[in-house]
Structure 1
């Protein structure tokens, strides 16, 4: 069920995009960098080939593959559409996601076309997002996206297709926090809720993300979070169980199962991930005054802190740390490339060396199971049924 060879494709792609992400030097202005067409073409082609055309990787394809195959097209008539959206097996999904999927199904019934088009849309939005906020280091942003929850780990583009659309809409809406256009911000994120209900968390953040709090406040919250994490203080489960009594027996039972489950209710100890988040917090605190010179960084620093703090405060339930921090991972994608710029040449080499070392270690620790055994739609080696067997065998051995 485990093999070090399973992680090699992910490491190779990481090294390739890291090499291509190195900015070219502008001879007229040594302090500026050049992003050329060759880099755009190489990185987008590699990512579309590797991620967009992936086979049945990790776990969520088990649901999405039969889901897509069961959908009608727009040509199947009004009754088929209404039945799918209101009464069908997958009617529990958000309506925007269902309609979006049906629209794609109208043009192609091939699941891998559906999957690839999903990624291409996200990649297009992502590149525009990086071009807006880190124009000189777009592809270094792509590297951090790849390593920090874009692909590696519980990758947004591998396992969370609905979340990905909701997040992309939020990334578009960030500009309206800066411009103080609350209606446009809310409209985009309400639209995001139609793809995944997690977008509801973004709505109240309009009033928080653009506020700069004192370093002492951030530090106090961080210290308390570390105490909760390291001492494994259970507070979330206590609140959830107390509230669930008023939400009905079914919800109470579901929450009880999650809270008492050895699979979903676990606390992380001191790990490489914990140390990385600890030093990231310290590093951002150290450079915060320089980062704040660009006004939009208030938003991204706050999101990066939310990413770190949600791990610390919600660590007693893995189902929460698998889902909530993912909503704010983009803080890494924007802030770290800017921190890289602050370093002098020799320290940049050290920084990139640590990035490569940590990333390879992260890939090896998380992508050496049969769930991550790479396959590509262009030369599909294992069918859906075979991958289901592998997946079931893995979880039986896990249990």
Structure 2
């Protein structure tokens, strides 16, 4: 048996040697297999459009810019990217590093840039401000900011000046963006529908193509955030530094709406959600808060605030958004005049603990709405009103 096993071992070994002698890297078609894998191109894009409108919503300028970034499944092989766009007329291209360098300059000149932005906000408001008292305050604030801006410019250090100069040099030396860049910014001439295609080619000459339809929307004015007067009910918070914390919340007349709420004061910060004062409503429900604010038709808003209720009695507090068609407290309770409303009960609450609430509402066709504050059967407090545009 050992003899037969010994002979079998040499037969197998001989066969392996014979087979290996038949393999040669010099023979055509033998060795590495040809790579039949083609690239799989893809790309993403981000809308970085910017625009400016005046206070009458007239467009001053708009830049319809989109940042495009290409990719493929090829992690090792060299690749070439080729973009195309249809229609191409008027489309220009921007080096992806330009915005980064511009932001770096803003960072170096942070104080100057911040003051310039505040000045721009006031210059935006002034042409459309009809209240002369507010206009006077805005003009005085603008003059003060301009003095601060000049001081900030004068105090820019030599080091910062050199850094800004170096960044400007980098900007001037940036190569022009091309349709062969992996990442670049497309600047479209106008709103419309564009087809953007991408061809990716690997280092073996294999290529593949993909395309998407990109819809460039018309620039629209930024929806203004409504202003709530004395939102935290503190003294001296009106535009001109005056106010007793509730001057903005008085109804047109007490006989139709009820008297304005009382003020609850604290001596230390941090006790109330905002400042040192809150709106206080006695349990009999005889006091209200009334403020009309401007809104943008069609926009959606989120109103937030804090409430605290006396738990010794079962009662509630209600914050409502009411149509200006309501001329009395009774009319504000008509379903047709209620845009949105939230009622919170004293049941389950904790004394002296404020809780935050939110109401989302749509302006609809309204250009202004009434924020109405009412309560019943228990004493309560409200504080720290705020409003944002829901995006």
Q: TM-score, normalised by structure 1?
A: 0.18
* Higher share of residues assigned strand: 2
* Higher share of residues assigned helix: 1
Q: TM-score, normalised by structure 2?
A: 0.18
Question: Whose Rg is larger?
Answer: 2
Greater relative contact order (Cα 8 A, min sep 6): structure 1 or 2? 1
